Each structure stands twice: as C-alpha cells, then as structure tokens.
Structure 1
Amino acid sequence: MTKQPNGAQALIQSMINQDVKYVFGLPGAKIDQLFENLEHNDNSKTPKLIITRHEQNAAFMAAGIGRLTGKPGVVATTSGPGVSNLATGLITATSEGDPVVAIGGQVPRNDIARLTHQSISSKELLSAATKDSVEVQDANNLSESFANAYQTATAAKAGATFISIPQDVLNDDVTRKTIKSLSPVEQGSADQDTVNEIIEKIKNAKLPVILAGMRSSTNEVTHKIHKFLHKFSIPVVETFQGAGVISRDLEKNYYGRVGLFRNQIGDTILKESDLIIAIGYDPVEYEARNWNVGRTGEIINLDSIAPEITNDYQPDLIVQADIAKTLDEISEQLPEDIDLGEKMHQHLADQQEKFTKKDAIPENHSDKNGIHPLAIIHALQNQVNDDTTVTVDVGSLYIWMARHFRSYKPRHLLFSNGMQTLGVALPWAIAAALERPEQPIVSVAGDGGFLFSGQELETAVRLNLNIVQLVWDDGYYDMVRFQEIAKYGHDSGVKLGPVDFVKYAESFGATGMRVERTDDLEPMLAKAFATKGPVVLHIPVDYSDNIKLASKLVDDVLN
C-alpha cells in the first residue's frame, strides 16, 4: 500500500506545480517537517532551501524574486518571533507590489489558544502586512490554500500573502490531490469607445506626458510604451519603481524620475503638461499632492487596478484594463502624422539640456572629506552594462542614484519607494544573483542601511554569488540628517560609530576593498567586478552637497 504524503510533502508538491525555485527562511521546531522534506527530497524539481541569517532578510529575498520575475517568491519561518520577524519584509512587498507567499509554522492546534511556547496570533498579526492571511486547520486544505495564496499574491495589485500552519497539520496525512499549475489571471483591453476617447484627448493635448509607475515596469508594458513612443514621441517621467522603462534608443524621451522632493525636471514637465497619462502609477510611490499641485490639465489613469481617489488625484478618465493590450490598441490607432510640433520639441530639448547638466561632477570638489556622490555614480555607470542589475538601499545615496543613475531595462534598478525600508539592497541582490547569474550584481547601500542586513554576506558567500556591494560611508543616518539641518539648523540622533567594512567583509569570507580617492574608483570597481564571489567596496562619501537635493525648483516643502 502506498504511504500517504504528509502535509509538508503536499505543500512542496504544490510549490513544484507552480514552478517555485527557492524557499528562503530559518529553521525551527514548528516548521522542521517542511524543511526536512525540502532538504531530503528525491524530486529534482523540489525548490532549493536557502537558509538566511534573519527572517526579515528572507522575506526581502522572496520579494526580490517576486519583483524580478513577477511570480511569488516563497519564505518559510518557524512560529512566534520567526513569524513576527516577517512583518517588515511583507509590508514592504505589499506596499511596493512584489508578490510573496509567506509560510509560518504555528504551535499544534490544541495549543493555539493556550499561553504556550511561541504561541501567537500569527494570522491576525500579519493580516495588516499582507493582502490575505489565513491559518490552515486541515492538511487536506494545504494545497488549495497555497494555490489561492499564490494567485492572490500575483493578482494586481501584487503583494504578500501569509499562510499559518500548525505543526501537527504539516505532519498529518493528506488524502486529496494537489492543485495543478495555475492559469494566469488575464484582463482584456479597454473597449473601443474608451480607446477612442483616449486618442482624442492625446490628439487635443499640447504637451501630453507619460508618468510611468511601478506597474509599467513589466517587460510586456514597457515594450508597448516603446511602441507608443516610436509612433508619438512625447516626454516620459519615471517613478523610482518605473526605472528602466525608457530604453537607450529612446533616451530623448526620458525626463527623469520623480519621488520624495518636488524639485526635479520631471516635476516641471508634469506641471507644464495639459494631459498626464499615468501608466501603472501607484500613489505610494509619489503622492499626487506633490506632483499634481498647482497644475491644470487632464489625467488619464491607465492601470490594472482602480486608483485611490483623493482631493489631489481625481483622474478625468479611469481605465482599468490590461495595460499592455490597451497601449497596443492606442498605438495602432494613433494618426500616422501625430507630432508635438517644432516649437514644443525645442522647448523640451532645452529643458532636457538643463537636466543633463545636473549629472556633471562639480569641478572644484576635493576628496578631503570623501568622494562626491556623482563621482561614484559616474564610475559605476561606466562599469555596468544594460543587463546589469543594481539594487539600491534607502538613504541619501538612494536619492542620488534615483536622480542620476541611468537604467535602460525595467526592473534592473531596484528601489524601495513605498516603505523606504532600510536593508533591502543586499537581500535583493542575493535574489537577483540567483535569478540572473550571468554577470555580477551590484548592491548599493550606506553605512547605516548596510548593517540592517549585512549578515547576509555569509549567505552570499555560502552560495558563491557574484555580488559587488558598495558601501557609501559618512558615519551618519544622513538622509534624516540633512533634512533635520534644513528644518532646524542642526541634526540630532543620527551619528554612527566607525566600522571597518573591509575587515567586516573578510570576516564572512568575502573580499573587502577600500577606495580612498576619486581617481581610484574606476580601477577598483573593475577589480571588484573581476573578483569571484561577494566583494564589499568601502567608499568614504562627502554628502556636503546634499542640501541641494531639497532645494526648490518648484514650490515645495521638505517631506
């Protein structure tokens, strides 16, 4: 007689059916049956179990998989603090549209209502951090629960889901079959009347502008934006998560990224526009109260989900449909001779020239107090190619990178712009190195943010991943510091102690390098890229120009 599979085995088969490649997590007694069956499994399609140094980082890695592939990454942890440590990673994923399925061990069913070891209300705790949070009471429901969590995580707006599984449920026999591979949830194009209305608005506008948000950065949507721009050349402003929507051959259409402070060329173009076509825009990236204040003109909201309506954001036309299919219909039906006109093209070219000049490294800068951020960005830009994935942590460096670092493929320059969560860069880089092993991955962090997840260097070493980790070191939580100085004339609560990041890297078995001068940046980066395994490049940075990040281009207040 064939032995019935247990709950853990059924759960693993469900993952295999959905083509899950990795499970990130930390072990513990309430989840060990799952880890046992993942580690010791004869099926070659079994997801690879990757043990991390902290549950939060495991959730970040799963979210990185979700953002890069569009398919949910999976994280599994034990009960109690193992589950509670997931919260930050899951709320970040849900806010920023990254699909994740999180699995948390739970005490046996007859202990759930008792004050026993590691008994917490896991489902309730993570309901606020996820799109859906459930607890499975019968092993026969595990496959269905995973399939529904997977589908919910993927459906627009993508985000995290959570499944709490009592220990004895994982151990119980399963008599039902597992759910097969899921069919994707498809949306249709907008109807013809709506497409006609969009085209009429575009034809009548003097300066239509595309605001490319987080849900514009799939390969399918990006391709259709390119098709539109080849038909009708208009400005495109990216959000931070829309980075890479504009390809190299369409760089003339790129008018920067917007986020945080309302003082970018993108803000100016949006304010001038009499028709903004918001594609996959999510207000969590950059609230409309920043970019839509004081402007006149219409807004078309084209997205797979309905927008949140506020006093600052009431689109004149809301189109909830498949973005790529709708854009394709619009491009096909636009008039062949549609054009902005010579006068507008010249005006836009003048604006773009001013924008480009801001990328120049100040000529009078010395290395006395560290290297200028733009010098680091220029050196890095010269080292990477269009296929290089660059993950960016939160901090002052994140503003510099978002404004000045160019990326020409979607989801190759990653930012946390919904929660602005410290510590994401290295875990995301680990996910990218697993998914895109063809060339080195770059992770960029400050000295503060890096130590939120720096322990995962050991994970990167263990997996022998080619990651170049840049640490911009100034000894402060500087993103807070320069805003405090702008507000109050001084800083408070932001000073950090010194860390030797070269020795830190070496203690994990990684390679550590230090840059002292601007002239050494490019050769040291080239050396780092040529070195196998993880490399940490310690770079002293001079943030004395940071106050310019908050200077006024249009009327603004500090965020």
Structure 2
Amino acid sequence: MKVAELLVKCLEHEGVEYVFGVPGEENIDLMDAFRDSPIEFIVTRHEAGAAFMAGIYGRLTGKPGVCLATLGPGATNLLTGVANANMDLNPIIAITGQAGLYRQHKISHQYYDLVSVYDPVTKWSVQVKTPEIVPEVVRKAFQVATEPKSGAAHIDVPEDIANAEVEGSPLSLTSHAHVEANNEVVSEAAARIGRAKHPLILAGNGVTRANAAEAFRSFVKKTNIPVVHSFMGKGALSWKDELSLLTAGIGGNDYITCGFTEADLIIAVGFDMVEYAPESWNPDAKVPIMHIDTREAETDAHYPVALHVIGDIERNLQKLDQAFSPVDRDNEWVKGVRDKAFAELEAYENNDHFPVKPQKIVSDLRSVLQEQDIVVSDVGAHKMWLARMYHTFEPNTCLISNGLASMGVAVPGAIAAKMVYPERSVVAVCGDGSFQMTSAELETAQRLNLPIVILLWRDEGYGLIEWHQMKKFQRSSYIKFGNPDFLQLAGSYGFETIAVKESEALKPALEKAIALKKPVLIDCPVDYSENMKLTEKLGDIIC
C-alpha cells in the first residue's frame, strides 16, 4: 500500500472519528486515502478553524483531535490552533503535507522546515523520512499527546514519502501507567490539611482532564474546605455547593479571591499555572502550596510547594479522602462571599438598559441553559464576564481558552462540541472582533447541519483591549472598527438570525434560538461601560 494509506489505517486503529482540515497539493495522497476510510474528513474554511475544532474535540473526549493542512501557508495557518490546544493542554495531532525530500536542501516553493516551526508549540514534532516508520510515528504521537500533561504532537509527511510503497500494520495500543503517591506522602498531606486553620482549594482544569470530578467532590466534602476555580477548572464543584467560591482570575481584589488573603495552606488540585499566575493570588509568596497533580509544579517564586502529591489525580484524591480525619471549620465567611456574588448576578435579571449590560446577558444565558448544556467562550471582554459570572454545575460546560487564549476559538469550538454532544444545546459566545476571525466556519456548521447558537456581543471594537487601555492610560487608542450587517452575513450562510433591539428581548431570543434546533445567530449590542465600573468596584473591595 501507499504510505498515505498506512497512515490512515493507523489513525483508524487509534479510534479516530474525524479529521478536520483543508486539502492541498502536497497532501492529496492522504485525501484520497480518506475516501476509503470510515474516518470522516471535515472540510473547514480555514486551517486555524480546523485546529480549534480538533482542540475542543480533544478537550471534551480526552482523545486526540486530529487536524490536517498542506505545507507552507496551510501549515502556518494551522499553527495558531495547534499552539492554542497545546497551551490549554488539549490532546491534538496535527498532520502537515510537505515538499518532497528531494527539494528540502534548498530554497523551494512553499517550503519551510515545519518540524522546527512546530517544535516550540508542541510536545513532539517529527517528519516521516522513511516509509517503514509510519506505525511507530503515529503510535508515539498519540502516546505523547495523551500522556500527562496532554497536548499537541505534529507529524510532517513529505509528498514523495506519502506516495511511496510500503508494507506494515498499526502497532498495538498501549495505556499509560497509573502512578500514585506512596502512603507516606498521603499521610503527610492528610496531616498538613488537618493542621491548617484556613486551607483553601484551587481547582484547575486537571480535575476535568483526569475525569476526577466525583473523587474531587468527595474529597471536598470530607475535608470541608472551600474551593476556588480557575477559568478552565469551572465545574469541578457545582456552583450550588455551599463550599464553592466560584471562579477567580479576572484580576483585582474580587470577593472570590478574598479567600487567598486569609489562607494558611493552598491545595492546588490539577492546577495549570499557565492560566492564572501565582503572583496574582500569592503576591508575597508566603502561603505554602500543596500541589496535587500528575507532574511536579513549574518553578515559580510565588508558588512555594511545601508538598507534592504526584500521580493519578483521581486515585490520590481517593487515598487522601480515606486518610483524612474530619475537623470542624468555620466557613461562615464563604456564605458571605457567595451571597455577594449571587446578589450581583441577580441584580441584573430585570435590567432594562440598552445596549444590554454584560451582567444581564450572562444572567439570561444561565437561566435559559440546562446543567449539561455547553457554552464555548471566545476571547475578549465577554470572556471575563463569563468567567466571573456564568456559574456551572459540571466540568466542561463552560469552555474557556485561557492558556494561549487565541481569538476565534468559539465558533469552531462550538462546532466540535456539538459533534461530540449532539443531544446538548451548544452556544458560542463571541465578541464582534473574535467572531470575524473565524466566521467563515458558519458555512461548515450549516453544511454539517449542526444547530449551534452564536450569541454575538457587539460593541464595534476590541473591548478587552480598550478595558486595559482605560485602566492604564484613562484613554483608548486604535480599537474601533466597522462591522458588516451580521444578520445578512449569517443569513447568507443559511443561519436563522435574531436581532436584539431591547434588553427584555434577549431571554426570549435565546429560548427561541435553542428551540429552533437550527444554526442561529443572535446579534446583541453590549454596553461595555460596565468594564470600568467593575474595575472600580474591585478596587474598593476590602477582604
């Protein structure tokens, strides 16, 4: 068979359902091989969109999403989405077509050394230089992408290699070893927790990656310790739980971050430092950290680890649960923090100001969606409001990219989420800046008949950048732009469209959009004057 055919058979053997991508001249052998495969090739309208889809697929399933591009501009377009997945620790395999080996020694049409280009943004980047190594390369790529902590692997396939004849078959699948902390470490951890007067748990995305939510919740109940979530750790504990301190990370002295100032031990569970710098919540580096994760912590002056509990997160939490003797704790202050946070959200339920206040948009969205429904946030000012005020019941129901945090992730991400969970409602929350970066994928959603809802927060500018400018300089610069008629644009792709023209119309619009079971775009003007009001409010909070 051809190398391309063997590579596709190896992907089949790994359980790949979809490959997202854009065809090109140098990967036509692979494209032809997919014709005879049960793997469904999803043609996207831009390579970045393909990688965003693969990344969200990987995040939701735990299996690597696969994306494909041709050489040169196709591969460099793909790069952003691959880097985004890698920094968010989502498992992903990127496959690129490449110039033939015979012309790689010189300057050549569309040729770049893609192994070197991808090396900084992946866990492993390799070129297939001989036909026989394909099974090893594919098996290793999947192994590297899924081993803790998960991320990206890249396979570069020269066109002359793809067309070469080869004999071979996929390698047997292997599972990762489940390592757990020894009993002495667990006993010491339980003793430290027992001695702490004001411990605080910081829950990261690793809880979700490890499928450890049930063990985590049992551990929280047993230890009676309040929990703060990172943006990507949302849902580790239900927002209804009386020990949930909701989500921190927006910056400033929020109600929710007040717990850090009084803590004498911070228990970081599955916490990924990339999304919430320790300097922000442990500025004096005086609070000791208990690091419960699959790997030892990154070295950081503001993250003084007193004890590592390394290995399978679920199993180590279970062992800690069993080893810990309950103690009484005064958690009355937690109720005060929760009451303030919920009062702020509830205060905007009936707000009639137009353009619509961010708090009102979040309140209406939360009231309409069910516990298991999925919100995919793009990057912009709306992300900060969702992170702070969209409260979750379960993990992976509010997807926020907060590693690389690339704009444009929401529409492709919503497409992937709907493919993984067709029975759930899926809403992409976008700003008008981020939406236009991948809006061509509306055609992909329509072609695949995926009834996603796009909730567009329109303010005619880069709202998050303006927020930062106003905080630092008290004036903004170069953040405004023009917009198309979004209703006509989405309608031309076959989307149903709804224009929100008064604040009271938003909730009915969301209800209608979900009930239609069709692709829908809601155009909602937003009043971002609330950004600076929030900044002033955070500055006035005294813990």
Q: What is the TM-score of this pair, normalised by structure 1?
A: 0.94
1:302 shift after superposition: 0.8
8 Å contact kept, 2:285–2:301: no
Q: How does 1:409-448 map to 2 (within 5 A)?
A: 409-448=394-433
- 1:113 is aligned to 2:105: yes
Which aligned pairs between 1:379-394 and structure 2 lie closer than 5 A?
A: 379-394=364-379
| Equivalent residue, structure 2, for 1:166 | 158
1:94 to 83, 86, 91: 86
Q: Where do 4+ consecutive residues of structure 1 move more than 6 Å? A: none
Residue aligning to 1:294: 284
State the Cα distance separating 1:229 from its structure 2 match: 2.1
Q: Distance in 2 between matches of 1:78 and 1:371?
A: 43
* Structure 1: gaps (5+ residues): none
User: Displacement, 1:186?
Assistant: 2.3
2:257 to 250, 254, 267: 267
Give the match for residue 538 of structure 1.
Answer: 523
Mapping 1:456-467, distance limit 5 Å: 456-467=441-452
Give the whole-Å Cα distance in 2 for the aligned partners of 1:37 and 1:464. 25
| CA distance in 2 between partners of 1:294 and 1:427 (Å) | 40
In structure 2, the partner of 1:526 is 511
Out of 349, 369, 381, the position equivalent to 1:396 is: 381
> How much has 1:252 moved relative to structure 2?
0.9
Aligned counterpart for 1:131 among listed residues 123, 148, 154? 123
**8 Å contact 2:408–2:438 — kept in the other structure?**
yes
Question: Does residue 1:325 correspond to 2:311, yes or no?
Answer: no
CA distance in structure 2 between the partners assigned to 1:548 and 1:245 by the alignment = 30
Partner of 2:217: 226
Q: CA deviation at 1:260?
A: 3.8
Per the alignment, residue 293 of structure 2 pairs with 303
Contact 1:427 1:453 in 2 (8 A): yes
Q: Identical aligned pairs, as a percentage?
A: 35
C-alpha contact (below 8 Å) 2:178/2:311 kept by paired residues: yes
Taking a change above 3 Å as real, the CA distance of residues 521 and 555 of structure 1, as seen in their structure-2 partners, is closer
Q: Does 2:192 correspond to 1:201?
A: yes
The verdict on how the C-alpha distance between 1:555 and 1:354 changes in structure 2, with shifts beyond 3 A counting, is closer
Letter in 2 for 1:20: V
Deviation (angstroms), 1:552: 6.3
2:33 is aligned, of 18, 37, 41, to: 37
Range with greater deviation from structure 2 (74-83 or 295-304)? 295-304
On the 8 A contact 1:263/1:551 being kept in 2, the answer is no
Deviation at 1:157, TM superposition (A): 1.6
Change (3 A) 1:172 1:539: same
The reply to whether residue 352 of structure 1 matches residue 348 of structure 2 is no
Choose which of 425, 434, 447 in structure 2 pairs with 1:449. Answer: 434
The answer as to 2:18 corresponding to 1:22 is yes
1:547: which partner in 2?
Answer: 532
Counterpart position of 1:253: 243
Aligned residue for 1:191? 182
CA contact under 8 A between 2:361 and 2:506: conserved in structure 1?
yes
Contact 2:227–2:245 under 8 Å retained in 1: yes
Change (3 A) 1:98 1:243: same
1:93–1:99: 8 Å Cα contact kept in structure 2?
Answer: yes
Distance across 2 between alignment mates of 1:83 and 1:164:
10
Instruction: For 1:104 and 1:147, locate their aligned partners in 2 and report how far apart those are by CA, in whole Å.
Output: 17
Structure 2 residue 479 is matched with structure 1 residue 494: yes
How far did 1:146 drift? 1.1
Runs of at least 5 residues in structure 2 that lack an aligned partner in the other structure: none
User: How far, CA to CA, are the matches of 2:190 and 2:273 in structure 1?
Assistant: 25
C-alpha change, 1:105 and 1:363, in structure 2 (3 Å) is closer
Structure 2 CA distance, aligned partners of 1:221 and 1:453? 33
Cα offset, 1:152, TM superposition: 0.5
Kindly indicate whether the alpha-carbon contact (under 8 Å) linking 1:256 and 1:264 is maintained by their aligned counterparts in 2.
Answer: no
Per-residue CA deviation, residues 201-240 of structure 1 (Å, 9 max, x unaligned), is: 1111112111001211236311111111232322100000
User: Residue type of the partner of 2:521?
Assistant: V
Q: Give, in angstroms, the shift of residue 360 of structure 1.
A: 3.0
Q: Distance in 2 between the 1:272 and 1:91 partners?
A: 36
Partner of 2:360: 375
What SS does the aligned partner of 2:271 have?
coil
The Cα offsets for residues 513-540 of structure 1, whole Å up to 9 and x where unpaired, read as 1111111111111110112321100001
Number of aligned residues: 541
- The C-alpha deviation readout for 1:304-336, integer Å capped at 9, x for no partner, is 01111121112111222111100000111222x
Q: Give the Cα separation in 1 of the matches to 2:56 and 2:469.
A: 32
TM superposition shift of 1:349: 1.7
Distance 1:312 1:121 in 2: 38
Please give the secondary structure, in 1, of the residue aligned with 2:211.
helix
2:347 aligned residue:
361
Q: Which residue of structure 2 lines up, in the alignment, with residue 77 of structure 1?
A: 69
Q: Distance in 1 between matches of 2:509 and 2:91?
A: 36
The Cα offsets for residues 11-40 of structure 1, whole Å up to 9 and x where unpaired, read as 1111111101100000111001111111x2
Once residues 147 and 133 of structure 1 are traced to their aligned partners in structure 2, the CA distance between those partners, rounded to angstroms, is 13
Segment of structure 1 superposing worse, 451-460 or 542-551: 542-551
Choose 208-217 or 101-110, whichever is displaced more.
208-217
Q: Deviations over 1:488-519 (max 9, x none)?
A: 12100100113211111011111111111111
Q: Within 2, Cα distance between the matches of 1:128 and 1:321?
A: 26
Tell me the SS of whatever aligns to 2:156: strand
Distance in 2 (alpha carbons) for counterparts of 1:132 and 1:363 = 48
Distance (Å, rounded) in 2 between the aligned partners of 1:506 and 1:364: 30
Quote the Cα distance in structure 1 between the aligned partners of 2:253 and 2:208.
23
Partner of 1:153: 145
Shift of 1:8: 1.1
Deviations 1:267-286 (A, max 9, x none): 21122111110011111110
Q: Summarize deviations over 1:39-58 as a string: whole Å, max 9, x none.
A: x21x5xx2110000000110
Residue 386 of structure 1 contacts residue 408 of structure 1 at CA under 8 Å; is this kept in 2? Answer: yes
Give the counterpart letter for 1:522 in structure 2.
Answer: K
Give SS of 1:512's match.
strand
Give the drift of 1:554: 6.8
Q: Is the contact made by 1:219 and 1:410 (CA closer than 8 Å) also made in structure 2?
A: no
Give the direction of change, closer, same or farther, for the CA distance of 1:519–1:219 in structure 2 (3 Å limit): farther
Check the 8 A contact 1:471/1:539 in 2, yes or no.
yes
CA contact (8 A) 1:268 1:554 kept: no
